[in-house]
Amino acid sequence: MTEKIPGGVTMEKLVSLSQRRGFIFQSSEIYGGLSSCWDYGPLGVELKRNVKQAWWRAVVQGRDDMVGLDASILMHPQTWAASGHLEQFTDPLVECKSCHQRFRPDQVLVGPVYAQDKGFLGYASGVNKEEYDKSWQELLNKNPKRGGTASRMFRAELQEPKTLHDFLDKKSEIPCPFCNAIGQFTDPRLFNLMFKTFMGPTEEEANVVYLRPETAQGIFVNFQNVLNTTRRRLPFGIAQLGKAFRNEISTGNFIFRSREFEQMEIEYFVRPETADKWFDYWVEERRNWYLNLGIREDNLRLRPHGEEELAHYARKCYDIDYNFPMGWSELEGVANRGDYDLAQHARHSGKEMTYFDEDSGEHIIPYIIEPSAGVDRSVLAFLCDAYDEEIAQGELRVVLHLHPSLAPYKVAVLPLSKKENLAKAAREVYADLRQCWMVHYDDTQSIGRRYRRQDEVGTPYCVTVDFQSLEDSQVTIRERDSMNQIRVPIATLKETLTAKLAGEDLFVLPEGGKIWKEEGK
């Protein structure tokens, strides 16, 4: 009998589990850490690879209208002039003349304050958390459609001149949240969120290049290359997975918003008159991807962007939001980008960016539907959704109910004792299963403890090898979620686990037949 403990998951618990079990570590921890950069440990790297693989399988391998791409992170600087990032990818910042920390003006007025390289500092002077939450709630009530995290809210709010005017009015009284100097702020200046670096041996403005802030532009600039080499017809899409970098001011919430992260982006090229249909299609397709991988339906919502919130390139945009512990926040955005990107790159490069439609004999600029997801945010959402605390047999059990295709280890092999003959048999089972999956071998501490350790990292099946196994060539499979145990022949263990990992609840008989669980009972 198990009993669920309500309200289980918090960000603190996830951070602690991630650190303790080797999912995610703070970057450069031995030097005090580098703010909002994260390292994926032995279990985290498996989970992350599985997320990326599940995405690639769904959007490239499983479809005949999609191809993949892996463009370089450094791109010609003109790319960012054409895309609008040089001009528009900015936040207004103010600098304290005393300590030289920079802040967003809205934050020193009303919000939680983040310094550029120090992370979260606390709440603006004279504001406590309750007041802040209340003012945020008031903003939400004013415009219920907006939703999103506090920082997104205030970033949107910043577009309205009122915040900047308020800041300028009160500038002489506002204390610096870092050094407490009063009235030392500069006027707001636009700060570009792209990381700049230099190409070649001299650090001159002429050699400036940027770390890409999104993977999408690598796809747009390769549109003609892909078209010419694959002879695709509309509609078709190009998918890309890769690192992106943003010098974000408001980082935080663990891996939710960091400065180096990975994106999974699709650019789907369509005839302009079919764009609405394909937009709806991709919103549904992407939402289902999360549901099929086990995300609970009531933790997902679709949030259309209002006119005032649309990015400069977008005609229509929906966020797929997840109910994270800090509140509903964007997991993935789906946008109809129209012909903006191809037209911009054609203008800036002087190259043709059109598609020749053989049926009509016309050259057209396709419209683009873009489902753009974050790998790290997906990892966080899958972890949050899977995390559960239960009382099982009178003890606390922490369990990650991860979908089997995402779980870092699919199987753990546990010999009941370290005795040599048993260890030899268990090692043989282990070696055999490793040919198919990531498998863990654990022979330390009691079997109960070992089951709990595997539950906590989401391993769907444990295979226990005991002394009886030496006589009857059978082992016990113990299932993570139900904690049920069944005994199966070693000869058919791989087939039984294959079926179970694919969601089929059956036994495979030694003579080759299969029995469905219901019939076999």
Please tell me whether residue 332 binds ligand ATP under the rule CB under 6 A.
Answer: yes
**Segment lying near ligand ATP (by CB under 6 A), choices 1-9, 188-196, 324-332, 454-462:** 324-332
Distance in angstroms (rounded) separating the CA atoms of residues 63 and 66: 6
User: How many residues bind to ligand ATP according to rule CB under 6 A?
Assistant: 17
> Looking at this protein, which amino acid is placed at residue 181?
A
Please tell me whether residue 321 binds ligand ATP under the rule CB under 6 A.
Answer: no
**Segment lying near ligand ATP (by CB under 6 A), choices 58-66, 69-77, 190-198, 330-338:** 330-338
Please tell me whether residue 344 binds ligand ATP under the rule CB under 6 A.
Answer: no
How many CA atoms within 13 Å lie on the side-chain side of 517?
Answer: 11
- Position with the least CB separation from ligand ATP: 374
Nearest distance in Å: CB 376, ligand ATP: 5
Nearest distance in Å: CB 370, ligand ATP: 9
Instruction: Return the residue of 46, 330, 385, 442 that touches ligand ATP, per CB under 6 A.
Output: 330
**Segment lying near ligand ATP (by CB under 6 A), choices 75-83, 159-167, 175-183, 327-335:** 327-335
Structure-block tokens of residue 69: 């791409």
What's the distance, CA 3 to chain centroid? Answer: 30
Please tell me whether residue 258 binds ligand ATP under the rule CB under 6 A.
Answer: yes
**In terms of C-beta distances under 8 Å and separation of at least 24 residues, what long-range contacts does 33-38 make, across chains too?**
35/117, 35/118, 35/119, 35/251, 35/259, 36/119, 36/248, 36/251, 36/252, 36/257, 36/258, 36/259, 37/258, 37/259, 37/260, 38/254, 38/255, 38/258, 38/376
Nearest distance in Å: CB 326, ligand ATP: 12
Nearest distance in Å: CB 501, ligand ATP: 28
Structure-block tokens of residue 185: 């702020």
**Segment lying near ligand ATP (by CB under 6 A), choices 120-128, 325-333, 424-432, 487-495:** 325-333
Q: What angle do CA 58, 60, 64 make, to 5 degrees?
A: 105
Query: Shortest CA distance to 311 belongs to which of 196, 192, 160, 156?
Result: 156
Distance in angstroms (rounded) separating the CA atoms of residues 364 and 346: 12
Q: Packing angle between helix 493-501 and helix 420-434, nearest 10 degrees?
A: 50
**Segment lying near ligand ATP (by CB under 6 A), choices 38-46, 53-61, 294-302, 368-376:** 368-376
For residue 235, cis peptide bond before it (omega within 30 degrees of 0): yes
Please tell me whether residue 333 binds ligand ATP under the rule CB under 6 A.
Answer: yes
**Segment lying near ligand ATP (by CB under 6 A), choices 78-86, 119-127, 181-189, 255-263:** 255-263
Instruction: Choose between 83 and 184: whose C-beta lies nearer to ligand ATP.
Output: 83
Nearest distance in Å: CB 452, ligand ATP: 31
Q: Packing angle between helix 375-386 and helix 42-56, nearest 10 degrees?
A: 110
Please tell me whether residue 381 binds ligand ATP under the rule CB under 6 A.
Answer: no
- Map residues 196-215 to x or -, x wherever contact with ligand ATP holds by CB under 6 A: ------------------x-
Please tell me whether residue 309 binds ligand ATP under the rule CB under 6 A.
Answer: no
> What are φ and ψ of residue 110, in 5° steps?
-135, -10
Query: Shortest CA distance to 63 belongs to which of 219, 236, 230, 227?
Result: 236
- Map residues 391-420 to x or -, x wherever contact with ligand ATP holds by CB under 6 A: ------------------------------
Nearest distance in Å: CB 216, ligand ATP: 9
Exposed/middle/buried for 267, CB within 10 Å: 0-12, 13-18, 19+? buried
Please tell me whether residue 263 binds ligand ATP under the rule CB under 6 A.
Answer: yes
Q: What angle do CA 332, 333, 336 make, to 5 degrees?
A: 150
**Segment lying near ligand ATP (by CB under 6 A), choices 68-76, 190-198, 254-262, 446-454:** 254-262
Instruction: Return the residue of 104, 257, 403, 480 that touches ligand ATP, per CB under 6 A.
Output: 257
Query: Shortest CA distance to 220 belongs to which of 430, 93, 71?
Result: 71
Q: Are 249 and 218 in contact (CB under 8 A)?
A: no
Instruction: Return the residue of 23, 136, 261, 290 that touches ligand ATP, per CB under 6 A.
Output: 261
Instruction: Choose between 102 and 257: whose C-beta lies nearer to ligand ATP.
Output: 257
Instruction: Choose between 322 and 461: whose C-beta lies nearer to ligand ATP.
Output: 322
Please tell me whether residue 374 binds ligand ATP under the rule CB under 6 A.
Answer: yes
| Residue count of the chain | 521
Please tell me whether residue 376 binds ligand ATP under the rule CB under 6 A.
Answer: yes
- Residue ranges with strand state E in 325-386: 327-338, 355-357, 362-364, 367-374
Nearest distance in Å: CB 407, ligand ATP: 22
The SS3 assignment for 414 reads: strand
User: Which ranges in 126-274 belong to alpha helices (H)?
Assistant: 129-142, 150-158, 161-170, 216-220, 223-230
Please tell me whether residue 377 binds ligand ATP under the rule CB under 6 A.
Answer: yes
According to DSSP, residue 493 is labeled: H
Query: Shortest CA distance to 294 belongs to which of 392, 400, 372?
Result: 400
Structure-block tokens of residue 108: 């020193």
- Map residues 230-249 to x or -, x wherever contact with ligand ATP holds by CB under 6 A: ----------------x-x-
Please tell me whether residue 341 binds ligand ATP under the rule CB under 6 A.
Answer: no
- How distant, in Å, are the alpha carbons of 119, 239, 500 from that of 495? 50, 33, 9
Instruction: Return the residue of 35, 184, 240, 372 that touches ligand ATP, per CB under 6 A.
Output: 372
Please tell me whether residue 282 binds ligand ATP under the rule CB under 6 A.
Answer: no
**Segment lying near ligand ATP (by CB under 6 A), choices 106-114, 257-265, 290-298, 463-471:** 257-265
Query: Shortest CA distance to 222 belongs to which of 68, 85, 116, 92?
Result: 68
Site for ligand ATP in 119-158 (CB under 6 A): 152
**Applying CB under 6 A, which residues contact ligand ATP?**
152, 214, 246, 248, 257-258, 261, 263, 330-333, 372-374, 376-377
